Chains A and B, each alone.
Chain A
């Protein structure tokens, strides 16, 4: 009888372990999966057009959070690598995370980034992410929560702040680790 009980206990333990393992695998984000496996995420089917217009396919997924950017085209952003691969992101936050930690998310060095495209918050026109003005801490909500929005001019930033109270304004060239920690506080996902 006691052997039977022991056997049942072992079986229960194994079942529970399997359940926990499958649950943690399901919870693993695409980026973590890529980082741990050393593989790159699946690239988008089409790159942005020459004028910056994003050509997002239905099956393209954000390499950071796994969302489908085609369902949120107004907040989408794009990154093109030197080897020709393109990645579309659900929002600017995921683009910035990838820009900041390119090897972790794309299994490629930051130098491999050839071009990044974001959309102007007010007009929707494509902008070069390197030239854009970014505002964080406003009341605008994006697909992943409080949004970091991009704009094409300082005048637009001024009006945006007047309407939406954005606290932090920056450009990519001025985005150092200190500012990064303010935008994405350590310990917060």
Chain B
């Protein structure tokens, strides 16, 4: 109980000494009501985990997609007809495009999507450009051999790939890309160029698409009409920005749907806030008593804030840490499958300082700021109330 004091100096000295005892008082107050405290802690922790999971996952995938787009070719040209994608005569396409002013480093690719053991995988034929980008020490795959990403195969053994409408083919896995290559190589299979052509149904002189770079990024859009004119077939041309925009918009749509799906959880947070408010009102008599024996309004506000911080800080920090572990701990790729309904093998995610910290900070802020605001508001109301009202009719 607050001590009785007589002089101003004594009051000031006592208040200075109370700083730490107030925190102890707040902690003991929380322990005196274990059920309410644990409920609050658990609710805040769950909210922090949920919000951080959504935000950090979105930030991490968006950052990885941005990095992938930055490394990708400026323009991708695909031949199409009314039925969809068609193979491209490689030499003819290269010759026609090479004459277009502004085209830098045109090359054809052999790549497509087939069914792997765990879901759809991206097959890439090991042409010169692909070989140049293989990690150091990784051998070029020969006929019947495959280099695979970490998410393609569940364990050791041969790789079976099934193209749509054709019979399956088996390959010997000679190397797995390290998990550290993240989204870029997660579900990729690199095959000998001839094997890839056979698997994708391409003739010897055909390619799946044609890609090229431009010196100035802004030139990509301006180049599209010239490219379309230069090629003799209907083509679909996409720029790096188009592809990044599609990816990010799909991600944002998904994140929005997830947030909507978690509206009940957000409502639970609102109920928690209401419960906290009631907690403050129910204890008005106690605050009235404190003020009657000499506590200042600032002391009562401090008590509320200490109480909120003692519950909120571990819950928020623990929630952020738990979300980080669920996302980035090796072997926990299930969370992205669960949240984002990943079609193929879910990718391993890797913590990057910029996007990871931004997501965690934002998540903690989204939960922490409203919580602290509520604590402050209820504390302020209790601190500024008339002590007599609290003692006589404070609902205790």
Please determine whether B101 and A74 come into contact, CB atoms closer than 8 angstroms.
no
Known: A122-B101, A122-B102, A159-B226. A74 touches B215 (CB 8 A): yes
A123 interface neighbour in B104, B218, B222, B226, Cβ under 8 Å: B104
Is A163 an interface position by the 8 A CB rule? Answer: yes
Nearest residue, chain A, Cβ from B218: A140
Please determine whether A74 and B222 come into contact, CB atoms closer than 8 angstroms.
no
Please determine whether B219 and A122 come into contact, CB atoms closer than 8 angstroms.
yes
Nearest residue, chain A, Cβ from B219: A122
Assembly CA distance A163 to B102 (angstroms): 11
Q: Using a CB-CB cutoff of 8 Å, which residues 155-187 of chain A contact chain B?
A: 155-156, 159-160, 163-164
Please determine whether A121 and B222 come into contact, CB atoms closer than 8 angstroms.
no
Assembly CA distance A119 to B216 (angstroms): 11
| A153 CB to nearest B CB, Å | 8
B101 interface neighbour in A119, A124, A140, A155, Cβ under 8 Å: A155
Nearest residue, chain A, Cβ from B99: A155
Known: A163-B222, A164-B222. A121 touches B216 (CB 8 A): yes
- Which residues of chain B have C-beta atoms less than 8 A from A163's C-beta? 219, 222-223, 226
| B222 CB to nearest A CB, Å | 4
Assembly CA distance A160 to B216 (angstroms): 13
- Which residues of chain A have C-beta atoms less than 8 A from B219's C-beta? 122, 163
B-contact bits for A113-126, CB 8 A (1 contact / 0 none): 00000011111100
Nearest residue, chain B, Cβ from A155: B101
Chain A interface SS verdict (over half): mixed
Assembly CA distance A164 to B218 (angstroms): 11
Assembly CA distance A140 to B222 (angstroms): 11
Known: A155-B101, A156-B101, A159-B101. A122 touches B226 (CB 8 A): no
Nearest residue, chain B, Cβ from A156: B101
Q: Using a CB-CB cutoff of 8 Å, which residues 188-243 of chain B contact chain A?
A: 214-216, 218-219, 222-223, 226
Please determine whether B226 and A124 come into contact, CB atoms closer than 8 angstroms.
no
A-contact bits for B264-306, CB 8 A (1 contact / 0 none): 0000000000000000000000000000000000000000000
- Which residues of chain B have C-beta atoms less than 8 A from A160's C-beta? 101
Nearest residue, chain A, Cβ from B214: A122
Assembly CA distance A159 to B226 (angstroms): 9
| A75 CB to nearest B CB, Å | 9
Most chain-B CB neighbours within 10 Å: which of A74, A119, A122, A155? A122
A159 interface neighbour in B102, B215, B216, Cβ under 8 Å: B102
- Which residues of chain A have C-beta atoms less than 8 A from B223's C-beta? 163
- Which residues of chain A have C-beta atoms less than 8 A from B101's C-beta? 122, 155-156, 159-160
- Which residues of chain A have C-beta atoms less than 8 A from B226's C-beta? 159, 163
Assembly CA distance A122 to B223 (angstroms): 11
Q: Using a CB-CB cutoff of 8 Å, which residues 81-137 of chain B contact chain A?
A: 101-102, 104
- Which residues of chain A have C-beta atoms less than 8 A from B218's C-beta? 140
Please determine whether B216 and A74 come into contact, CB atoms closer than 8 angstroms.
yes
Assembly CA distance A188 to B226 (angstroms): 36
A-contact bits for B317-338, CB 8 A (1 contact / 0 none): 0000000000000000000000
- Which residues of chain B have C-beta atoms less than 8 A from A123's C-beta? 104, 215
Assembly CA distance A156 to B89 (angstroms): 27
- Which residues of chain B have C-beta atoms less than 8 A from A159's C-beta? 101-102, 226
Assembly CA distance A80 to B158 (angstroms): 61
Q: Using a CB-CB cutoff of 8 Å, which residues 127-147 of chain A contact chain B?
A: 140
- Which residues of chain B have C-beta atoms less than 8 A from A121's C-beta? 215-216
Please determine whether B222 and A122 come into contact, CB atoms closer than 8 angstroms.
no
| A78 CB to nearest B CB, Å | 17
| B223 CB to nearest A CB, Å | 8
B-contact bits for A68-79, CB 8 A (1 contact / 0 none): 000000100000
List the 7 shortest-distance A-B pairs measured between CB atoms, nearest first. Answer: A159-B101, A124-B215, A163-B222, A122-B102, A156-B101, A122-B101, A123-B215
Interface pairs (28), CB distance under 8 Å = A74-B215, A74-B216, A119-B215, A120-B215, A121-B215, A121-B216, A122-B101, A122-B102, A122-B104, A122-B214, A122-B215, A122-B219, A123-B104, A123-B215, A124-B104, A140-B216, A140-B218, A155-B101, A156-B101, A159-B101, A159-B102, A159-B226, A160-B101, A163-B219, A163-B222, A163-B223, A163-B226, A164-B222
New contact pairs (10) apart from A74-B215, A140-B216, CB-CB < 8 Å:
A119-B215, A122-B101, A122-B215, A123-B104, A123-B215, A155-B101, A159-B102, A159-B226, A163-B219, A163-B222
